[in-house]
Amino acid sequence: MARLYFMPNRLTKSIIMLAVIIAGFAVAYVIFNNTGHVLIGETQNQASVIANTNKTDSVIDPKKIYEVTDIIDGDTFKVMNGNREVTVRMLGINTPETVDPRKVPECYGKEASDETKELLKGGEVRLELNPNREKYDIYGRILAYVYLPSGLFVNEYLVQNGYAREYTVGSPYEYQKQFQYDQNIAKRASKGLWEMCK
């Protein structure tokens, strides 16, 4: 009696390979938590719990000076708020990505991160929230305007000098039109990323 053997053809092999790749991505599902570090295999519910943890006792006083404890990239850093370390995301701007493991570092990302590190190396900032707008992003990071003790408006400085792009998510924010204007000037002057990342 003849035996029947299953001989996978090219299509079957391709489907199996695709299934293995998809399963690999599912297992290595990557999200950012409130600290800006990467978590492997976290679910959306777990991310929500982490994000909400950052919000606890995170009332920001615009008159207070906050100690900078870590700089994650060009637009994200950590401060001490009371006895808790919280993550701040600069509102209205976006610097090129450098820390997302899913992506190759973007053009001018290192320069933007280095500039933010230089600006914040004094270790002190003042934070302001935008009135009538959400105080946290989906990762639980505080959305803020950042000022140095000298009065330098860091968010605007980074846009003006080509380290960041204007960035709107959701509803307009207080300095949206100003940042868009600053971006156009920086672009016309070929500053920073506008010169290097054509």
| Cβ 156 vs Cβ 182: under 8 Å | yes
CA distances from 106 to 65, 81, 95, 99 (A): 32, 31, 9, 10
CA distances from 117 to 72, 168, 176, 195 (A): 9, 23, 24, 22
Mean pLDDT on 101-118: 95
Position 19 scores a pLDDT of 67
Confidence of residue 127 (pLDDT cuts 50, 70, 90): very high
**Ordered alpha helix ranges (H), 28-134:** 44-55, 109-120
Q: What is the pTM of this model?
A: 0.73
Q: CB within 8 A of 183, min separation 6: which ones?
A: 159, 165, 166
Tell me: the pLDDT tens digits for 52-86?
545 544 589 999 999 999 999 999 999 999 999 99
Domains of the chain by range and CATH? 58-196 (2.40.50.90)
Residues catalogued as catalytic: 89, 97, 141
Confidence of residue 8 (pLDDT cuts 50, 70, 90): low
Position 3 scores a pLDDT of 56
Distance between CA 17 and CA 19 in Å, rounded?
A: 5
Tell me: the pLDDT tens digits for 139-190?
999 999 999 999 999 999 999 999 999 999 988 999 999 999 999 999 999 9
Position 53 scores a pLDDT of 46
**Number of CB atoms found within 10 A of residue 145's CB:** 21
Distance between CA 79 and CA 54 in Å, rounded?
A: 12
Confidence of residue 38 (pLDDT cuts 50, 70, 90): very low
Q: Is the dihedral of CA 167, 67, 49, 136 positive or negative?
A: negative
More confident call, 193 vs 7: 193
Position 22 scores a pLDDT of 67
